[in-house]
Amino acid sequence: MAATIQVSEEIAAKANLIKEEANKLFANKKYEEAIEKYTEAIDLNPNVAPYYANRAFCNTKLENYGLAIEDGEKAIEVDPKYAKGYYRRGVGKYALSRFKEAAKDFRIVVKLAPNDKDARGKLEDCEKIVQRLAFEAAIAGDHDVKRASDTINVQDMLVEDSYDGARIDDGQVTKEFIDDMIDRFLKQKKIHKRYAYEIILQCQKYFTQQPSMVDVDIPVGQKLTICGDVHGQFYDFMNIFKLNGRPSETHAYLFNGDFVDRGTFSLEIILTLFAYKLLYPKGMYLTRGNHETDDMNKVYGFEDEVKAKFSDTMFKIFSETFVTLPLAHLVQKKIFVVHGGLSSRDDVTLDEIRAIDRIKKGQPGQEGLMCELLWADPHPLPGRRPSARGVGQRFGPDVTDHFCKLNNIDMIIRSHEVKQEGYQIEHNGKCVTIFSAPNYCDSVGNKGAYINVICDKEGEYKLDYVQFDAVDHPKVQPYSNRFRGF
């Protein structure tokens, strides 16, 4: 137990009043403001474990899992028998795929609070995942184990006469097929599994042949629309096309990662994106995000969603396909587009990024260049700092400026962070965050946004920022079980 700091009754009462203000801000989903108030209360009276636990909950809502873990630890230092401190630390560790450590924390919660059914359920989930990961690691050593993608023969899959949707003939995805598929999705209907497999496997083959950084050139008089995270919010995703036009041979889109997880229609989004990629190879570009990874998909719903709607085999094939997605794009030779951000090194060049052997590496892990491209965040102060997320790092305006000068580019566009207005321009205009999931998780109340990059004349471009609000969507039980929305 941490040493108690002497605090007068008057100061303790004042701290408690500030905590109540923070609670009201939290209830109104103003998490950053609530954090400031909880911090005020802690500064006045650092002896109250719930202040840290409450601040940890706010940081969890903001996906600052590293800070949530730190606050859980501080709550435990103040009161080693405070169950919620272990709970908050456990949730943070689980969110970062540190499943064994999370299980230890939830085990302590269950011991301290035997009637806590929620904690017991989380412990059971952790233990199941740890067992499954151990099994997967064991069979991974068997070199005779086939990739799931190699076990599927779509030609052997019979499409029943009763199937009333459009069909893919001779492996060719058509505009008519995509229009029919989208209409089915909007009505919460599925396409036949044969066509889902065909789309995924064809995209996997295509992306396997691409470099880790893809060049995108916009013809004069045309535009490229750059979108950020859409996170399974299919009806908001389709609203982008309603407002801005669907992909075509003359209007390209670049979706900058995090297509899946969180929302309940991730499968519909990724199949739509993949189908458009097959129809218009130069009309749809996709960047891998930190949620196109196995660790995230186990926690935030995509794995469970695909298994519920189709099968475990299909999820495995998605996993093998996500590995092939490019890590970045270079637009007009001047705009570097990446999901997360910049590296912890000052000497990273575009050529190095282009040459990353992403397919061999597979999952990005929690350190190194590939991880940082998917996880890093900008920071307003110079230099680099530890990430509030617990993975990657934060980079300042001087880091962005150096990277742009070193590589002779104008700016970077990245995603990865919810922004209240849908986008944010930082680092003297050289770093832009774009986020395209309005009212994120049905709770944040933010706008979504996208950027139209318009090519006026050869070698010149302009950026047009467009904001939009969330639209209604069917209420479907989330797929990520007990961890949805933490």
The continuous run of DSSP H or E covering 378 comes out as strand 377-378
Strands 223-227 and 448-454: antiparallel
Positive or negative, the Cα torsion across 276, 278, 283, 287? Answer: positive
232 in helix, strand or coil? coil
How many Å apart are CA 305 and CA 328, to the nearest integer?
27
437 in helix, strand or coil? coil
Q: Are 364 and 409 in contact (CB under 8 A)?
A: no
Query: How far from the centroid of its chain's Cα atoms is residue 301's Cα?
Result: 11
The continuous run of DSSP H or E covering 86 comes out as helix 83-95
Q: Which of 231, 291, 339, 473 is catalytic?
A: 291
Does 291 participate in catalysis according to the annotation?
yes
The strands making up 431-434's β-sheet, listed across from edge to edge, are: 213-216, 328-331, 335-338, 411-414, 431-434, 423-426
Token reading at 362? 């597979």
Which residues are known catalytic residues? 291
